[in-house]
Amino acid sequence: MKIAILGAGISGVSLARMLAADGHDVVVLEKSERAGGLCKSRQVDGFTFDDAGGHIMFSKRQDVLQWMKDRCGGDRHLVRTERQTKIRWHDRWVPYPFENGVGHLTKEAIVDCMEGYIDAHVQRRLGAPCPENFGDWIEWRMGGGFARHFMVPYNEKIWKCDLRRMSSAWVAGRVPEAPIRDVLSSAVGLDTQGYAHQSVFWFPEHGGFETMVVGTVRDGGFELRCNAPVENVRRDGDAFRVNGERYDLVVNTVPLPLVEPAFEDIPDEIRGDIRELVPISLVNVLIGVKLDEPMPPLSWIYLPFPEQGPANRVTYYSNYSPHNAPAGHGCYMAEVTHRGELRADRAFARDVCRALDAAGILDADRVVTIDHVDSRFAYIDQDLGFDARIGRVRGWFDTSGYITFGRFGRYEYHNSDQCIGRAMEVREHVRDIADTGRPARPRFA
Ligand SMILES: Cc1cc2nc3c(=O)[nH]c(=O)nc-3n(C[C@H](O)[C@H](O)[C@H](O)COP(=O)(O)OP(=O)(O)OC[C@H]3O[C@@H](n4cnc5c(N)ncnc54)[C@H](O)[C@@H]3O)c2cc1C
Cβ neighbours for 76, distance < 8 A, ≥ 6 positions apart: none
Residue 391: C-alpha distances to residues 12, 233, 385, 395 (Å): 22, 22, 10, 6
Give dist(CA 136, CA 147) in Å, integer. Answer: 10
Half-sphere exposure of 270 (CA within 13 A, CB side): 19
Residues of the chain above pLDDT 90, percent: 90
Q: What is the pLDDT of residues 199-254, one digit of tens each?
A: 899 999 999 999 999 999 999 999 999 999 999 999 999 999 999 999 999 999 99
Please answer whether residues 265 and 400 qualify as being in contact, where contact means their C-beta atoms are separated by less than 8 angstroms. Answer: yes
- Model pLDDT, residue 194: 65
* Superfamily per CATH, domain 279-380: Protoporphyrinogen oxidase, mitochondrial; domain 2 (3.90.660.20)
pLDDT in tens, 301-333: 999 999 999 999 999 999 999 999 999 999 999
Q: Which residue's alpha carbon is nearest to atom 25 within ligand 1?
A: 9
- Residue with the smallest CA separation from ligand 1 atom 33 is 7
How many residues make up the chain in this entry? Answer: 445
408 Cβ inside 6 Å of ligand 1:
yes
Q: Is the pLDDT of residue 443 over 80?
A: yes
The residue among 122, 84, 119, 86 whose CA lies nearest residue 104 is 86
Residue 218 pairs in a beta bridge with none
Ligand 1 pocket check for 95: Cβ under 6 Å: no
CA 91 to chain centre: 28
The pLDDT-based confidence of 170 (bands split at 50, 70, 90) is confident
Domain with CATH 3.50.50.60 in the chain: 2-36+209-278+383-436
Alpha carbon distance 34, 20 (integer Å): 19
Q: List the one residue out of 177, 49, 135 whose CA is nearest residue 384.
A: 135
By most ligand atoms within 8 Å of CB, the mutation choice from 254, 258, 333 for ligand 1 is 254
As its CATH architecture, domain 2-36+209-278+383-436 has 3-Layer(bba) Sandwich (3.50)
Q: Which residues does 25 contact at the CB level (< 8 Å), separation at least 6?
A: 1, 2, 3
Residues 6+ apart with CB under 8 A from 241: 232, 233, 234, 235, 247
For ligand 1, pick from 13, 38, 233 the residue to mutate: most ligand atoms within 8 Å of CB. 38
Summarised one tens digit per residue, pLDDT across range 366-392 is 999 999 999 999 999 999 999 999 999
Residue 269: the pLDDT is: 98
**Is the Cβ atom of 336 under 6 angstroms away from ligand 1?**
no
With a 6 A CB cut-off, is 64 part of the ligand 1 pocket?
no
23-67: pLDDT as tens digits? 999 999 999 999 999 999 999 999 999 999 999 999 999 999 999
Output the CA 64–ligand 1 centroid distance in Å. Answer: 17
Atom nearest to 38 CA in ligand 1: 29
Bridge partners (DSSP) of residue 367 are 289
Instruction: Characterise 243 by phi-psi region: left (phi > 0), alpha (psi -120 to 50), beta (else).
Output: left
Other Cβ atoms less than 10 A from the Cβ of 49: the count is 29
Radius of gyration of the chain (CA): 23
416 C-beta closer than 6 A to ligand 1: yes
pLDDT at residue 312, as a whole number:
98
pLDDT at 282 over 80: yes
Residue 445 scores a pLDDT above 90: no
100 pLDDT band (50/70/90 cuts)?
A: confident
d(CA 92, CA 94): 6
The mean pLDDT value for 281-298 works out to: 97
The rounded distance, in Å, linking the Cα atoms of 116 and 180 is: 12
Which are the contacts of 81, defined by CB distance < 8 A and separation ≥ 6? Answer: 56, 200, 201, 202, 203, 299, 319, 320
245 Cα: distance to centroid of ligand 1 (angstroms): 25
pLDDT bucket at 99, cuts 50 / 70 / 90: confident
Determine whether the shortest distance from the Cβ of 166 to ligand 1 is under 6 A: no
Ligand 1 center–CA 409 separation, angstroms:
9
Give the number of other Cβ atoms within 10 Å of residue 108's Cβ.
10
3-state secondary structure of 167: strand
> What distance in Å separates the CA atoms of residue 224 and residue 213, rounded to the nearest whole number?
12
Asked if 243 and 4 count as a contact pair (C-beta separation under 8 A), the reply is no
Band of pLDDT at residue 440, cut at 50, 70 and 90: confident
Q: Where exactly does CATH 3.90.660.20 map onto the chain? A: 279-380
pLDDT tens for residues 267-276? 999 999 999 9
User: To the nearest whole number, what is the mean pLDDT of the chain?
Assistant: 95
